[in-house]
Amino acid sequence: MGFEEHPQFFAGFLTSPQVAAAGLLAVADVAAARYYQRQLRASLDPVVTGNGDRLRFESFSGCGGVYARLDVMTAGLDGGEVGHGTTNVDVNNPLREALSRIGTDDPLHLRVGPDEMAVTTLDGPVVEKKVPLPDRWLRGFAEAQVIAAGFDLRAELPAAEAVRFLRSLPRGSARGAARGAQWVVPAGRGLRPTTRPVPGAVCLPGPERLIALQRVLRHATALRVYGPPVTREATAAGAWEAVLPGMRLTLTLSPDASRGFSGEGAVLDALAADEATEDAELIAVLLAWEPRIDVGELAAASGLPTERVRAALVRLGTSGRVGYDTAESAYFHRELPYDAERVEHHNPRLRAARALVAAGAVALDGALGTVTADDGHVHRVRDDAGTLSCSCLWWAKYRGGRGPCKHALAVRMVRRGAQAPHERVLVDGGDVR
């Protein structure tokens, strides 16, 4: 078999062209938007993955606080087999205009390969070439998949109730997303606001950030809402999924409009385990572009316990190789052009914790850990049934809501018997943080 002149992992028509066009525009809307500090520029580019039985289109907002994904399932595709591959392309004005003009009965043909995406309508083809993937998406992809793995389905609204609810939400202002968060709770076939996070409630931080769902409202058959269990008086992330003919559009919101996913710290505990790197290398060999990764099967095939498999998937997620689908409660495989060695670079708290361990700054005394910083300040880390708290300012400010501080991470590494690295680990600028 010779080389293909134009390799591709999908070529065919979309069975609901107008719906698919609206979904693609919604993903592009999120990529081009900033919902916080809107005066700053945002021009990021969607990622397209062929997963064997579906196409996935993913993007992050310019502020990093909204993750969008359009899953076009087998029922939404009319063409040859869906192959495996990932690319990232710009959705510029000519393509947006072509998608906006698609009528109910107009055809929409899509060809996607590793180097380009071609969209053909009655107006002719528009070809978008591969562009560099924004480096700051790396931590966003990693954090979003770990956070979403803690979600459960909280509510499902029929189409009419979904339209009513979404159209009642504020649209924000020119200055950016409104402060504070709303809470909603299932009531009958719909959702009603509540003043506090009662059991069963879902947090809606920056409700105007759901504006991209307006693109597909008239095509939606249902709206599904996902979120974590309510455990404390604090904002939380959540996912809002519009069910469409042959596809799903999901927007995942960070816990606050002013917070991007990249700073949430959800990956740090898994990365701090000294066996995570070797486990990730083993699990990576077993991945085969599955659209739905079965953790139990990976555990059986690798001989690792499920907890270590999950930690390995988190590690792979930090290089963009694993995502999480809330609708199927499962991880999925993709390949992004990120180097796994950049994991440390993108997690300064992890690097700083390793430096503290290397410097011998951690001392353990039962449930109490003492960490002596370079400047002489002593921080005390307490272990309460596996939950660590610290006397530092970071902990006082976030109370664990944005992952562990560097002192708690360092204590956890020592408790696990982590070996100190041979070299002192530095952050940008040359100082240990």
With left for phi above 0 and alpha for psi between -120 and 50, is residue 215 left, alpha or beta? alpha
Burial class (CB in 10 A: 0-12, 13-18, 19+), 175: exposed
What is the model's pLDDT at position 3? Answer: 37
Residue appearing with tokens 């290397």: 358
CA distance 171 to 72: 27
- Cα Rg for the chain, rounded, in angstroms? 22
Tokens of 326: 């809330």
CB 290 within 8 A of CB 298: no
| Strand duo 77-79 + 10-14: pairing | antiparallel
CB 79 within 8 A of CB 55: no
What is the model's pLDDT at position 39? Answer: 53
Per-residue pLDDT of the chain (433 residues; tens, 9 = 90+): 333 444 689 999 999 999 999 999 999 999 888 887 665 555 567 889 998 899 999 999 988 899 999 999 999 999 778 998 888 888 888 999 999 999 988 999 999 998 899 999 999 999 998 887 776 777 788 888 889 999 999 999 999 999 999 988 876 654 444 456 789 999 989 999 888 888 888 999 889 999 999 999 999 999 999 999 886 667 889 999 999 999 999 999 998 888 888 777 777 777 777 677 788 889 988 988 888 899 999 999 999 999 899 888 888 887 788 899 999 999 999 887 666 566 556 678 888 888 899 899 999 988 899 999 888 889 999 988 777 889 998 888 887 777 788 898 899 888 877 434 433 333 333 333 3
What is the model's pLDDT at position 291? Answer: 87
The pTM score is 0.82
Identity (one letter) of the amino acid at 429?
A: G
CA distance 433 to 430: 9
Q: Which long-range contacts (CB under 8 A, 24 or more apart) does 393-402 make?
A: 399/234, 401/234, 401/255, 402/259, 402/263, 402/264, 402/265
CB 243 within 8 A of CB 191: no
What is the model's pLDDT at position 399? Answer: 78
> Residue 124, Cβ neighbours under 10 Å: how many?
8
Burial class (CB in 10 A: 0-12, 13-18, 19+), 80: exposed
Q: Name all domains of the chain by residue range, CATH numbers in brackets.
A: 9-260 (3.70.10.10), 268-342 (1.10.10.10), 347-415 (no CATH)
With left for phi above 0 and alpha for psi between -120 and 50, is residue 399 left, alpha or beta? left
CA distance 154 to 393: 34
Beta partners for residue 387, in sequence order = 384
Identity (one letter) of the amino acid at 154?
A: R
Burial class (CB in 10 A: 0-12, 13-18, 19+), 366: exposed
* Three-state helix/strand/coil letters over the chain: CCCCCCCCCEEEEECCHHHHHHHHHHHHHHHHCCCCCCCCCCCCCCEEEEECCCEEEEEECCCCCEEEEEEECHHHEEECCCCEEEEEECCCHHHHHHHHCCCCCCCCEEEECCCEEEEEECCEEEEEEECCCCCCHHHHHHHHHHHHCCCEEEEEEEHHHHHHHHHCCCCCECCECCCCEEEEEEECCEEEEECCCCCCCEEEECHHHHHHHHHHHHHCCEEEEEECCCCCCCCCCEEEEEEECCEEEEEEECCCCCCCHHHCCCCHHHHHCCCHHHHHHHHHHHCCCCCCECHHHHHHHHCCCHHHHHHHHHHHHCCCCEEEECCCCEEEECCCCCCHHHHCCCCHHHHHHHHHHHCCCEEEECCEEEEECCCCCEEEEEEECCEEEECCHHHHHHCCECECCHHHHHHHHHHCCCCCCCCCCCCCCCCCC
Identity (one letter) of the amino acid at 365?
A: D
